[in-house]
Amino acid sequence: METYGCQMNVNDSEVILRIMQDAGYALTDDIGQASVILANTCSIRDNAEQRIWGRIEQFRLHKRRRQGIVIGIVGCMAERLKDRLLESHTVDLVAGPDTYRRLPEMIRAITPDHPQIDVLLSRDETYADISPVRMDRNGVSAFISIMRGCNNACSYCVVPYTRGAERSRDPQSILREAHELADNGYREITLLGQNVDSYLWRDADGEVDFAGLLEMAAGVSPDVRIRFSTSHPKDISDAVIGTMAAHDNICRHIHLPVQSGSNAMLEKMRRKYTREWYLERVEKIRSVMPGCGISTDIIAGFCGETEQDHRDTLDLMEKVGFDSAFMFQYSERPGTLAARNYPDDVPPDVKTARLNEIIALQNRLSLESNRKDVGKRFRVLIDGISKRNGDEFCGRTSSNKVCVFSAPGYGIGDYAEVEVVSCTSATLLSELARD
C-alpha cells in the first residue's frame, strides 16, 4: 500500500487497510512479496500525478517478474483519469474515493481480460462505521476524517470533481474513534476535512456544528491534544475561535489558506472572501488567542495574475506574518473551472520568479516568528527522534512549531516542558526547562 499526497490520503489508506484486513489480506513492507499493490493517489497538483505515472512504470516490472499480482490505483487520481489508467495495460483495478468497500470484491473479479473500475461518487459514504488501521510509526499522532467532499468549487481545484459533494460524519462515530485512539495511547488527534469549518450534522436530536464537535473532541481526554485541518477563511467563526481559547488541549494553531493577497485573484479563484475579510479573521484570532500559530497556502502565478496582484500577496504576507506556508506555482488541473474559463497565461519563468520571492519572504517571516519565541517555555509533545542528532528528540508546540532538544529519561509520546535557546527559520532549538 503506497500513499501519495495529503493527510486525507493517509487517512483513506488507513480505511482501505481495515477493509482489506477484514477480507483476509495483510500489509507488507516488501513490495516483492505483495500479491496486491495499491497506490492511493492525489490529483491536487500535477507533480503528484506525474509521480504516479512513474510508479506505474515500475509496477510494470513487478508484473513481468511475477504472474498474477494485482496493480490498483485508488483515490483522487483514479476518479479523475478513470479509463486512461487501464489503458496503461499495467493497472488492473481503478477505484474512486467512495468505492473502497468494494475493493475485495473487485480484486476477486479481476481476470487478464477484465480489469475492474468503479469511480462512482456517493452523497452518503463517510466510512463512519470503519475503524481505520493506523499506519503511523510513532503511535502518538493520528487522523480522524470528520467529513468528505467539498462544496466550495474554487476555480483552480479538482477536489469537488474527485471527492464529490460535502457530507459530514455522525459526531458519535467521530467520538468513538477518538476514544479508541486515546485508549490505545495516542496523544494527538487531528480532525480532517476539506473545509472543517463547514462541518454540520443534523438528526432528530438537533445539530452539531464544528465548534460543537471541537468541544466534544476536547472532552475525550485532557491528555490528548486536538488539532484540525483545513479551515476556510470564509467560514471560520467566532464560535470556533472561542472554543479553541476555552480548552487548553485544543492546539493554538490554525492552517488558514489565503492562496492570494489580491482581491482580483481571490474573486477569479472563487474563494468568496476578500483580503480585508481575511485580515479581520487573523486579527480576531490573535485578539482572542495571542500567540496562536497561523500557517497558510499560497499560489504563485494564477491565471491573469499581474505584478500588482503579486505585490498584494507579498503585502498581505507581511501584514499577517505567517509562521509557515505551503507555496506553489499554479498548475492547471484539467476539468476545473479555471481550466475551462481562464488561460494559463503567466509565463513559467515569471511564475518561478514570483514563487521564489514568496519563498524568500516566508523564510524571513518564519525566522522572525521563531526569534520571538527564544527564551520562552513551551509544553511539547515528543513525537520522534531528531533527524540530525539521534540523541535528541523532536516535537511540536501547541502552535505547531518544531522543537529539537535533549531529554534524558523521556520517550516518544511524553510531554516535556522546554525552553527555547535559539532557532532557525524551521526549528526551535531548545533544552529541558529548569524549575
pTM as predicted: 0.90
Q: What is the per-residue pLDDT for 159?
A: 87
CATH class of this structure's domain 2-118: alpha beta
Q: What is the per-residue pLDDT for 48?
A: 66
Q: What is the per-residue pLDDT for 5?
A: 52
The answer, yes or no, to whether residue 44 has pLDDT greater than 70, is no
Q: Is 97 helix (H, G, I), strand (E, B) or coil?
A: coil
Q: Which CATH superfamily is domain 377-432 in?
A: Nucleic acid-binding proteins (2.40.50.140)
Task: Record the cell numbers describing residue 180, joined without a space.
Answer: 479508541
The answer, yes or no, to whether residue 296 has pLDDT greater than 80, is yes
Q: Where are the domains of the chain?
A: 2-118, 377-432
Q: What is the per-residue pLDDT for 66?
A: 84
Q: What is the per-residue pLDDT for 2?
A: 58
Average pLDDT value over all residues in the chain: 93
When mean pLDDT is compared across 12-21, 55-64, 154-163, 308-317, the lowest value belongs to 55-64
Average pLDDT over residues 251-267: 98
Cis peptide leading into 230, omega within 30 of 0? Answer: yes
List b or e across 149-162, with b for residues whose CB sees 16 or more CB atoms inside 10 angstroms: bbebebbbbbbbbb
Task: Record the cell numbers describing residue 58, joined without a space.
Answer: 515500475
Q: What is the per-residue pLDDT for 7?
A: 72
Name the DSSP letter for residue 118: E
Fold match between domain 2-118 and domain 377-432: no
The answer, yes or no, to whether residue 283 has pLDDT greater than 90, is yes
The answer, yes or no, to whether residue 4 has pLDDT greater than 90, is no
Which pLDDT tens digit goes with each residue over 374-387?
999 999 999 999 98
Q: What is the per-residue pLDDT for 107?
A: 96
Which pLDDT tens digit goes with each residue over 65-114?
888 899 999 988 888 878 878 887 789 999 999 999 999 999 999 998 89
Average pLDDT over residues 321-338: 95
Count CB-CB contacts under 10 A for residue 101: 14
Length of the chain (residues): 435
